Amino acid sequence: MAKSEWYKNMSVYQIWPRSFCDGNGDGIGDLWGVLDKLDYIKSLNVDAIWFSPLFPSPNADYGYDISDYMDIHPDYGNLQVFRQVLDGAHARGMKVFMDLVVNHTSDEHKWFIEGRKDKNSPYHDYYYWRNGRTTRSGRRLPPNNWSSVFEGGAWEYDASLDEYYLHVFAKKQPDLNMANPRVREEVKNILRFWLDLGVDGFREDVITFIAKDEGLPSSYPPLPVANGYRHYANRPKAHEYLKEFKREVLDFYDCFTVGESPMTTPDVALRYIDEGGDKVLDEMIAFSHMEADCFMLDMLQLPFNLVKMKRAFSEWQTKLQGRAWNALYIENHDHPRIISRYGSEEYRTESGKMLAAMYILQRGTPFIYQGQEIGMLNTNLTELGMYKDVMAQNNIEVATRFMPRSTAMKLLARSSRDNARTPFQWTDGKNAGFSEGTPWFFVNENYKEINAAQQEDDPNSLLNFYRAILKFKKETPVAVWGDYKEYFPKDKNFRFLQLREQLRHHERLYLAAV
C-alpha cells in the first residue's frame, strides 16, 4: 500500500498511561505495565497504539502540560523501557503514535522558566507575554478579554516582569508563540527526535489553536469559557505552520498525523486534510458527534438526541467522502464513558455492542479508548475534592453562576473527564488488577462485574465483540472502502417517541435537581 494509504485500513488503541496498568507497584500506570499488556492489545485486532503524553510533566493537566519533550516521565519509566515497548509493538505488527502537545508547554518547561526571568532572553518571545491595559481609574486589566478553557481569565500576571502571559488552557499551560520561527524549529526537532527513535506518527493536541490573530484582539460578545476562540481557532496561519512541519520533517518519514480539532466543521477540516487540496494532516478529530447530549461542553447536559448524533456523523461522513479520511471515535480521555451517555448502563453489553458497530463500521480509522472495549462506565464522584481534573473546579465555578451548587455537582459528576480516567479494570481482584500498590485514583466500584478477565472467555462479551468487529472491519473491504449512505427511519412514530423520551429525561433531571 502506498505511503499515504496504510492508515486508512487501521484501527488504533488509545492508552492514557496513568490509568492503564501499573507494572512497578507504585499505584500509577506505566510503560512496564504496557509491556505486560502488549499481547492483550494485539488481541483486540488493532494496528496501532496512541499514547496520551508520556513526557515529563508536573501533571497540572496530566501530561498535557509538558516540561520536557524529549524524555519519558519517571512515573512511566524511561527512554529505555519506551524503546522496549516500541520494539514490542512493532514486533507484533502495531505502530506507535505519540501525543504532540505544542499549543502550550508547562510553566515548568525550561523555555518558560528562562523567558520569565528576563525580557531580553530569547525564550521570552517563545510565549505570548504582553503589557496589561489600565482603566481611567488606574485599575490594571489583562491585555484582552479572553477567557481560558480551564481556569478563569486567559492571562496570568507576573509582577516581576510587570507583564501577562497567555494561557488558553490552565495557568500552568502557557501558550507557545508559534509565530516565532525559533519555536517552529523546536517543534521540528521534537518531531524528528521521536520519528528517529522509530515512532510512526502523532496525534496533535488542539492543533487548530496554534496560530493566534495578530494583535490578539478582544472578542465580543464575551463568553464565560474560551472567549477569544474566534481569534485562535483555525486561523489561516495554522495551516501554514503545519505545512512547514510537513514539508521540512514529516514528508521525510512514512508517518501518520491526526489533528485534534475542536470548534471545527467538516468544511474547515477539509482545509487541512483534503487529498485533492493542500493536505497537511491525514485526519482530524471531530467533536460534533460527542455533543448529542450536551450543548458544546459536556457539562451543559441535554437529553440524548439520536437525530443530532446521526446528523453529526452523517455530515462528516458525506462531506469527507472521496476527499479525505475520517477519524472515528466515541470515547477518549476527554469525555465521560459512552455507555453511560449514549447507551444504557442496564443493558451495557447490548448497548456497548450497538455503539461499537455504529461507529466502527463507518468510513474512517476507528480509535478505541482503553476500557471502552470492556464497557467501563462512569464513576460517581460526590465531592469536589475527589476530582483530579483541573477542569472540575472551573466548571463548578462557572456553573454556580447559573444554578445551585447541588445541581452543578450532579452535572459535573456525569460530565467530568475523570469518568474516563479511573484505573483499567483487569480482574475482580485487588484494585481491579490495576496495581499492587495504592492506585493514584479511585477504582470504579463496579470492577467485580466489569473487568477484562471475566469477559475473556465469554464468546458473547463486549470484549470479544470488539475483537470480532475490528477483525471484520480489517478483512472486509466494503467495511473499509464502502461509501456511506444514510437511511431515514420510515416509522412516523420515531420522532414522537424521541420527543417523549426527551421530555421524560428533562423530568428526571428536574426531579434529581430539586
The residues that touch ligand NOJ, with contacts defined as CB under 6 A, are 61, 64, 101, 169, 205-206, 260, 333-334
**Residue of 260, 283, 331, 389 marked catalytic:** 260
Longest Cα–Cα distance in the chain:
72
**Residue of 30, 205, 298, 334 marked catalytic:** 205
Question: Toward ligand NOJ, which CB reaches closer, 11 or 105?
Answer: 105
Torsion angle, alpha carbons of 294, 295, 298, 303, to 10:
-10
Q: Minimal distance in Å, beta carbon 509 to ligand NOJ?
A: 27
At 227, the amino acid letter reads: N
Angle between helices 181-197 and 79-91 (to 10 degrees): 60
Question: Toward ligand NOJ, which CB reaches closer, 98 or 101?
Answer: 101
Torsion angle, alpha carbons of 479, 480, 481, 486, to 10:
50
Whether the CB-CB separation of 33 and 21 falls below 8 Å is answered with: yes
Question: Toward ligand NOJ, which CB reaches closer, 94 or 290?
Answer: 290
Type and span of the H or E element at 155: strand 155-158
Strand partners, 157: 164
Catalytic residue check, 260 = yes
Q: Minimal distance in Å, beta carbon 99 to ligand NOJ?
A: 8
Question: Toward ligand NOJ, which CB reaches closer, 257 or 461?
Answer: 257
Question: Toward ligand NOJ, which CB reaches closer, 206 or 216?
Answer: 206
> Does a cis peptide bond (omega within 30 degrees of 0) precede residue 221?
yes
d(CA 102, CA 104): 5
d(CA 94, CA 301): 37
Q: Minimal distance in Å, beta carbon 424 to ligand NOJ?
A: 18
Q: How many angstroms separate the Cα of 210 from the Cα of each of 52, 232, 334, 411, 470?
A: 19, 7, 19, 31, 34
Question: Toward ligand NOJ, which CB reaches closer, 101 or 269?
Answer: 101
Q: Minimal distance in Å, beta carbon 285 to ligand NOJ?
A: 9
Would you say the C-alpha torsion 276, 279, 310, 9 has a positive or negative sign? Answer: positive
CB hemisphere CA count around 126 (13 angstroms): 27
Q: Are strands 256-260 and 201-204 parallel, antiparallel or unpaired?
A: parallel
Q: Minimal distance in Å, beta carbon 169 to ligand NOJ?
A: 5
Catalytic residue check, 205 = yes
Residue nearest to ligand NOJ (CB): 64
Q: Minimal distance in Å, beta carbon 196 to ligand NOJ?
A: 25
Active site residues: 205, 260
